[in-house]
Amino acid sequence: MRNKLLGIIGGMGVQATTRFCQIVTDLQNVTTEQEYLEMLVYNKTSTPNRTAYILGESGESPLPSLLYAARALEAAGATCIVMPCVTAHYFYDEIAAAIGIPFLNMLEETAAFVSREGFSKVGLFATSGTVQGGFFQKAFAHVEVDVVLPDDTQQAALMKIIYDLKPGGEVLPNILDEFAASLRGKGANAIVLGCTELSLLPTGHGYVDAMQVLAKAAVEKCSL
């Protein structure tokens, strides 16, 4: 019987968190339901808008809400924590310092995966908060991977797609392909889906899904 409990700081957004849990479930090779990894999800939907705070459009910091969720999961017995929201990783260091259990870093896991796959330059699809904050680019710089970003018009369109997906809205299934082709034209070897809402869209070859990478790392961590 497993003795590890995966804590998930979720609700950013709810659809993405549900998708993350499904990926974690699908990654496990079990024969009985008792073998599945135990998960405890805190859908902290009241967490203030991360992008608005990072861009200076809101003075309401998401950090207190995220700290509350992390500490609650630790107190409830979680032995490892993940946060399937890229933009919220702006506060990763503060959250990690406030708890005494492992906290997987989605950015570092994705950068390490990209490096292992041999990609030297990637396109990044993410929220404007993530792009402007520069913290995902920093993670790639640590593994010597260059990053290509969408132009302002494309970034605005990506933000609309992301916010349309959050409440469960529908967008055209191949809507990212045109943007991806543009970044590949600038030398990107792969396109990183650096926002968990984008994981809700079907994508083909040439994409790296940060949420898929995090889910695999979580399963491996909790199986040790």
Active site residues: 85, 195
The whole-angstrom separation of Cα 76 and Cα 72 is: 6
The whole-angstrom separation of Cα 38 and Cα 45 is: 22
Contact 131, 197 (CB under 8 A): no
Contact 190, 47 (CB under 8 A): no
Closest CA to 17 of 41, 53, 49: 41
The whole-angstrom separation of Cα 125 and Cα 182 is: 12
Buried b (16+ CB within 10 A) or exposed e, 77-89: ebbbbbbbbbbbb
The whole-angstrom separation of Cα 54 and Cα 32 is: 44
What count of residues does the chain have?
Answer: 224
The whole-angstrom separation of Cα 42 and Cα 186 is: 40
Q: Say which amino acid occupies 180.
A: A
Task: Return the biggest CA–CA distance within the chain.
Answer: 51
CA angle (148, 130, 91) in 5-degree steps: 140
